[in-house]
């Protein structure tokens, strides 16, 4: 059965590897050993969905870009990214280790920046239009708009243990087991159930936030985005939101699925990563610029959210 990405894989230098025994023989393995990267791409596909594993070592900065025309039968891709150092450029989104990445296959060009010197390792499931039509729309009361919202809500920097477990199950599955087709179908439906369940749980939780409070929380985020490098006091945020500390803390976590502190830290580290690569500032200067006077604290948080140390990111500076 044809797989939409095969044309793209061969166009960037991948070749079919029929001797590879790292993955399940029910699928197909491509390999690459080029100036930009080396490693493997494995996939299993049927009429309803595909499963893929990316296992690359990226040697130097590259921009991966391709059109979506070859995947016209694919509705959405959901990947659990175990290791990455880069950014999705269209649409722009920061990516980091242990995150769930959702991408809807619509016409246009997909671009992804991968930084050299780091591994890219992920496990993904691609749902085809036929799967959506026969397994979702006909067997449930969910329309496509609701389903799209459910999948989109998985697109988050937060770690989702249930999805990590599905990825680990696929990776650890006995590659020679004869009933692999059934196993992968179970995992595809399991991931679908997680998306739908989390959507309604979050919808119920968000329903507890009034429209005015929702606007107030957006104002808090806008303030943080503009003043992330400053020492932001919770008292000031409470005044902006017109909420008590307890209410602000609980409401913020309910809406954004992370604490205010984590939101500030992620904002600072994302800006710092860009500054390390795109400016000639040294690490200490970047740390101070985003609000950290302690080099060790900055390095600890950078490692936490980016999976590597600042000096490793600095190696790939444009200057």
Cα distance between residue 220 and residue 236, in whole Å: 9
Q: What is the β-pairing status of strands 109-114 and 28-33?
A: unpaired
Measured CA distances, 179 to 25, 42, 176 (Å): 12, 18, 9
Inter-residue contact 183 to 169 (CB < 8 Å): no
DSSP annotation of 179: T
Inter-residue contact 126 to 76 (CB < 8 Å): yes
CATH architecture assignment, domain 2-205: Sandwich (2.60)
3-state secondary structure of 108: coil
Inter-residue contact 126 to 120 (CB < 8 Å): no
**Does the predicted TM-score (pTM) go above 0.85?**
no
Enumerate residues 6+ apart whose C-beta is below 8 A from 82. 97, 98, 121, 122, 123, 167
Residue 42 backbone dihedrals phi, psi, to 5 degrees: -115, 145
The CATH superfamily label for domain 266-316 reads: Homeodomain-like (1.10.10.60)
pLDDT in tens, the chain (319 residues): 678 788 889 988 999 999 998 898 899 999 999 999 999 999 999 999 999 999 999 998 898 887 766 566 888 999 999 888 888 888 788 888 888 999 888 767 788 999 888 889 999 999 999 998 888 777 677 778 888 888 988 987 677 889 989 998 998 887 667 678 899 999 999 999 999 888 888 777 766 788 899 899 999 999 999 999 999 999 999 999 999 999 999 999 888 878 999 999 989 998 898 888 778 899 999 999 999 999 999 999 998 888 779 998 887 665 5
Inter-residue contact 132 to 144 (CB < 8 Å): yes
Instruction: Pick the closest to residue 120 from 92, 79, 162 (CA basis).
Output: 79
Query: What tokens appear for 166 in the block?
Result: 């599905």
């Amino acid at each position: 059965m044809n797989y939409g990405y095969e044309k793209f894989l061969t166009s960037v230098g991948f070749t079919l590897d029929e001797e590879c025994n790292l993955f399940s023989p029910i699928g197909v393995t491509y390999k690459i050993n080029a100036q930009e990267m080396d490693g493997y791409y494995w996939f299993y596909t049927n009429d309803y969905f595909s499963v893929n594993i990316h296992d690359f070592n990226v040697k130097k900065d590259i921009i991966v870009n391709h059109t979506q025309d070859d995947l016209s039968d694919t509705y959405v891709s959901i990947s659990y990214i175990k290791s990455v150092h880069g950014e999705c450029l269209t649409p722009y989104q920061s990516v980091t280790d242990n995150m769930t990445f959702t991408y809807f296959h619509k016409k246009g060009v997909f671009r992804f920046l991968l930084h050299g010197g780091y591994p890219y390792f992920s496990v993904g499931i691609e749902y085809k239009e036929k799967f959506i039509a026969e397994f979702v729309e006909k067997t449930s009361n969910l329309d496509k708009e609701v389903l799209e919202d459910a999948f989109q809500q998985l697109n988050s920097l937060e770690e989702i243990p249930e999805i990590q477990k599905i990825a680990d199950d696929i990776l650890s599955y006995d590659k020679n087991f004869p009933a692999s087709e059934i196993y992968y179908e179970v995992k595809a439906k399991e991931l679908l159930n997680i998306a739908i369940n989390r959507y309604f749980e979050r919808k119920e939780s968000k329903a507890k936030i009034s429209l005015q409070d929702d606007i107030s929380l957006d104002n808090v985020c806008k303030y943080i985005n503009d003043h992330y490098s400053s020492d932001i006091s919770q008292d000031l945020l409470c005044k902006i939101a017109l909420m008590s500390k307890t209410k602000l803390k609980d409401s913020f976590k309910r809406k954004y699925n992370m604490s205010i502190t984590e939101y500030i830290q992620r904002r600072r580290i994302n800006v710092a990563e860009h500054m390390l690569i795109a400016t000639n500032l040294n690490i200490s200067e970047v740390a101070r610029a985003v609000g950290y006077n302690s080099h060790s604290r900055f390095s600890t948080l950078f490692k936490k959210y980016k999976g590597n140390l600042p000096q490793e990111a600095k190696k790939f500076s444009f200057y």
